[in-house]
Amino acid sequence: MSKEKILVVDDEQDLVKLTCYNLGKEGYKVISAYSGEDALFLARREKPELIILDIMLPGIDGLEVCKKLKADPELANIAILMLTAKGEEIDITLGLKLGADDYITKPFSLKELIARVQAILRRVRTSATPKDYIEIDRLRIDTYKHEVTINGETIPLTLTEFKILQQLASKPGRVFTRDQLLDAVSGPETFVIDRTIDVHIVALRKKLKKYADRLITVRGIGYKFRE
């Protein structure tokens, strides 16, 4: 089976060449760009499965590129892994809100980058074949029945708790901001504010018992479900 196509975007040419070389060794088809404008052009022409996108780019920056990609129906499904500098929590949060799938902070190891790439593409493949349930070990989330079981035993969750767990577990490893979780749980029968998400996470951890450590806090940003 042929590997997916990846577009690497960064204005640091040495970093791009090294990244492309190592991704190529893993069997991926790799293309590159050094500016936001070129990234958009190649994304439209090549339709990659994943874009590794630096936030700090000359001209159109990475956040604007992300925004334009997600606004284009033909490109919106392309996964995005953001490259960020330390201390850019605001940019990270904004990027995730705009639709980026994950981020990695510079400087990073190529081993970690490849692991993130593999995880994102695995999620992309999984989401292409939707199921009525999510199963992790002995934890089962039945999205049709709105029921969660551990070893076959039903775990009583509130509607909001169920929606939060379903959202996080649907894409293991992906970081969700509090605002994204709020959007996922909001409805006519629910009223949730920003920090209430934290309270629901605490309650979920208690109820999930040995699976509590699957709910990971990403400081200053939100939460993710450990793969």
For 55-69, write each residue's pLDDT tens digit.
999 889 999 999 999
pLDDT, residue 176, reads 92
Q: How far is CA 216 from CA 20, 174, 193, 205, in A?
A: 30, 10, 20, 10
pLDDT, residue 128, reads 56
The pair of three-digit structure tokens given for residue 29, joined into one six-digit string:
């088809």
Task: Grade residue 129 by pLDDT with cuts at 50, 70 and 90.
Answer: low
pLDDT, residue 91, reads 84
Share of the chain above pLDDT 90, in %: 62
**Is CATH 1.10.8.420 the right assignment for the domain spanning 133-225?**
no
pTM of the model: 0.74
pLDDT, residue 36, reads 95
Q: Is the pLDDT at 92 greater than 90, yes or no?
A: no
Task: Indicate the fold that domain 5-127 takes in CATH.
Answer: Rossmann fold (3.40.50)
Instruction: Give mean pLDDT, residues 164-171.
Output: 91
pLDDT digits (tens, 9 = 90+) for 198-221: 999 999 999 999 999 999 999 888
Q: How far apart are CA 155 and CA 165, in angstroms?
A: 12
Query: Would you give the DSSP letter of residue 151?
Result: T
Q: Phi, psi at residue 157, to the nearest 5°?
A: -120, 150
Q: Is the pLDDT at 136 greater than 50, yes or no?
A: yes
Burial letters 182-215, b for 16+ CB under 10 A, else e? bebbeeeeeebeeeebeebbeebeebbeebeebb
Q: How far is CA 3 from CA 48, 117, 156, 174, in A?
A: 11, 12, 41, 21
Q: Domain map of the chain by residue range?
A: 5-127, 133-225
62, 92 in Cβ contact below 8 A?
no
The pair of three-digit structure tokens given for residue 110, joined into one six-digit string:
């190529």
- Residue appearing with tokens 């002995």: 138
